[in-house]
Amino acid sequence: MWFERLKVIRFHHCDPAAIIFYPQYFVLFHELMEEWFSEGLNTNYGEYIRVARLGVPAVKAECEFTAQSKLGDEVRFRLQPTRLGSSSLSFTGEAISGDELRARAHITVVQMSLETRKSVPFAADLRARITAYLPPQ
C-alpha cells in the first residue's frame, strides 16, 4: 500500500533555472515520511520527536533522477515501506507527474532515542501500523 500526497514545486525548491534542485527531493521525501507518520500511521510526528523523544534519521539514501521537475509542477509523492527491522525501516519513495517518473529514492531510517542517540526497537503498535503498508511477501 502506498501513502501519497500531491505537492507543488515551489520557488524555494528550485535552482536559478527554475528546475528543482536535486537535494530538495530528499527534503520532500522526508516531509512525506513525516506526513505518513502523522496521517497514515496515526503517530503525530511532532509529538514523536518532542514528547516520545524518538527520531528516524536516514542512515542510507540513494536516488535516481529520471526527469526534470520545474517551478509550478504538480508532483505526486508516494512512499511504501519495503523492509521493517527491529529498529530500521526501508522505504521506496517516488515522485511522479502525470505518468512520468521524476525521481525514485530508496531510503533506510533507524529509530533512535534522542536522549541516548542509540537505536531502539519500534513499539508493537507502531510496528503493526507500519506492517499494514508492507507489500505482500
Q: Is residue 84 part of a domain?
A: yes
Q: Is residue 82 part of a domain?
A: yes
Please tell me the total count of domains within the chain: 1
Q: Is residue 11 part of a domain?
A: yes
Cα–Cα nearest to 104, from 92, 116, 86: 92
Q: Is residue 81 part of a domain?
A: yes
Q: Is residue 113 part of a domain?
A: yes
Using a pLDDT cut of 90, give the percent of the chain over it. 97
Q: Are 34 and 109 in contact (CB under 8 A)?
A: no
Task: Give CA angle at 89 (113, 49), nearest 5°.
Answer: 35
Between CA 114 and CA 5 the distance in angstroms is 28
User: Residue 19's pLDDT is what?
Assistant: 94
Between CA 103 and CA 65 the distance in angstroms is 4
> Quick one: which H or E segment has residue 126?
helix 124-131
What is the Cα Rg of the chain in Å?
15
Residue type, 133: Y
Task: Supply 52's cell numbers.
Answer: 516520545
Residue 38 has pLDDT above 80, yes or no: yes
Between CA 27 and CA 18 the distance in angstroms is 17
pLDDT digits over 61-95, tens only? 999 999 999 999 999 999 999 999 999 999 999 99
User: Residue 36's pLDDT is what?
Assistant: 97
User: Residue 136's pLDDT is what?
Assistant: 85
Q: Is residue 137 part of a domain?
A: no
Q: How confident is the model at residue 1 (pLDDT cuts 50, 70, 90)?
A: confident
Start-to-end CA span in the chain (Å): 13
Q: How confident is the model at residue 137 (pLDDT cuts 50, 70, 90)?
A: confident
Q: What is the CATH number of the domain that holds 33?
A: 3.10.129.10
How much is the pTM?
0.93
Q: Residue 119: give the domain boundaries.
A: 3-131
Cα–Cα nearest to 94, from 49, 32, 42: 32
